[in-house]
Amino acid sequence: MGTQNFLWTFAKNYFTVGLVALTISDRYASIVPVRGVSMSPTFNPHHSTLMGSNDDYVLVEKFCLEKYKFSPGDVVVFCSPTDHREKHVKRITALPGDWISSPYSHDALKIPEGHCWVEGDNFASSLDSRSYGPIPLGLVRGRVTHVVWPPQRVGKVERRIPQDGLPF
C-alpha cells in the first residue's frame, strides 16, 4: 500500500514536470541540436558526416512568434515546406516586400506578403529558398539566439546580412 502511494505520487510529479517543461519549451525557449553543415561556419564548422556526436546545441527563443516580426539576418528554425515533419535552421536574408536577385535567372523577385527568403550560411551545400522559393512566415517555429554547446563556442548568434552573392 505504501509503495503504491509512493509510485502514484512519483508519477503525478513526473507528469506535472513534463507538462511544465513542454509549456516552457513551446512558449519561451528550448535547446535543440543542429545537424548538417548548411550553416557552417556559424554552426558545426568542423562537422564530419560520420561523427554524429559533434552537433552544436543552440538556444531557440519563441517570443518572436507573438508578432512574427523578424529582421534580416535572423537565424530561424522552421518546418520544411517539402516535409512538415522536418525542421530546418537557416538565416532570413529578405523580408516581405524586399526585392531579391534570383540566383539562376538574373531577374529580380519580389518577396510576397507574409513570406521570407531563407539561406544557409554555407552557400555551397545548403538546401534553402534558392531551391524551394520563399517560405511563409507561418512555418517559422523559433529564432536562434545563442550557441550553448560545445563550451568553446558558447556565444550569441549575430545577425549578419550576407553581401550580394558572396559567401561568408
116, 137 in Cβ contact below 8 A? yes
Q: Is 38 known to be catalytic?
A: yes
59, 145 in Cβ contact below 8 A? yes
Q: Which of the following is catalytic: 38, 40, 126, 129?
A: 38
Segment interacting with other proteins, rule: CB under 8 A, options 17-25, 44-52, 98-106, 123-131: 17-25
Long-range CB pairs of 65-73, under 8 A, 24+ apart, other chains included: 65/140, 65/141, 65/142, 68/137, 68/138, 68/140, 70/95, 70/116, 70/137, 70/140, 70/143, 71/95, 71/159, 72/98, 72/159, 72/161, 73/158, 73/159, 73/160, 73/161
User: Rule CB under 8 A: is residue 138 a binding residue for other proteins?
Assistant: yes
Q: Give me the least distance between CB of 68 and other proteins, in Å please.
A: 4
Nearest to 139 by CA among 87, 66, 62, 95: 87
Q: Is 90 known to be catalytic?
A: yes
User: Rule CB under 8 A: is residue 20 a binding residue for other proteins?
Assistant: yes
Q: What track of x and - describes contact with other proteins for positions 32 through 71 (by CB under 8 A)?
A: -----------------------------------xx---
User: Could you say which of 107, 113, 158, 164 contacts other proteins (CB under 8 A)?
Assistant: 113
* Residues touching other proteins, count (CB under 8 A): 27
Q: Which of the following is catalytic: 30, 40, 90, 129?
A: 90
- What is the three-class DSSP state of 26? helix
Residues serving a catalytic function are 38, 90
In the complex, the residues that contact other proteins under the rule CB under 8 A are: 16, 19-20, 22-23, 26-27, 67-68, 78-85, 112-115, 135-140
